[in-house]
Amino acid sequence: MSRIGKQPISIPKGIDVSLNSTVLSFKKGNITQELDTKGFVNVELKDGSIVFSPKGEDRQSRAFWGTYRSLAHNIVVGLTDGFSKKLEVNGVGYRAAVKGNVLELNLGFSHSINYKLPEGVQASIEKNIITISGYNKQNVGQVAAEVREFRPPEPYKGKGIKYVDERIIRKAGKTSKK
């Protein structure tokens, strides 16, 4: 039995949920997200909540049961509260700026990096902290990972882009002989 899959998802006010055979659609304002369960799980709308159950007793249905419930829960949380990731830029001369939907990064290369933000993802900068936010958890995490990948933190001085809560294990530098 899936402990996650058994829990119903309550639908908050302002979010419209509709069910068409295997496609579960969520709508808030002009934002629409869909979840296709591909026939592995049963989805029911009961008393202002969404209930998931496995379609059969086969291994694949039980495996997808909790997964689809978590995906639907992430859509509801994203449409109500949103998701965000915070990145910290460390290094002399390392800067970040947002121009429209383009994140401009100066990371010690001979050129600046212009990263176009996908639709539904916003970035804001305060001092050396980049906050990436949006309603889709997967997109926010993917954009944060791609931005971090431009200059991952190095272990000697800690220069680079890291998550705010990430801990970089430092190495000792070379020592001189006496």
Q: How confident is the model at residue 178 (pLDDT cuts 50, 70, 90)?
A: low
Residue 71 DSSP code? H
pLDDT at position 118? 96
Q: Which of 15-19, 78-82, 115-119, 146-150 has the lowest mean pLDDT?
A: 15-19
Task: Give the integer Cα–Cα distance in Å for 123 and 89.
Answer: 14
**Paired strand residues for 35:** 24
- Assign residue 149 a region (left: φ > 0; alpha: ψ between -120 and 50; beta: otherwise): alpha
pLDDT in tens, 1-22: 668 888 999 999 989 998 887 7
| Cut 0.85: pTM above it | yes
* Spacing of C-alpha 18 from chain mean position: 24
Task: Give the integer Cα–Cα distance in Å for 57 and 21.
Answer: 20
Tokens of 101: 């939907």
Going along the chain from its start, the domains and CATH numbers come out as 9-81 (3.90.930.12), 83-163 (3.90.930.12)
pLDDT at position 23? 85
Length of the chain equals 178
Per the CB < 8 A criterion, the answer to whether 75 and 33 are in contact is yes
Tokens of 21: 């055979």
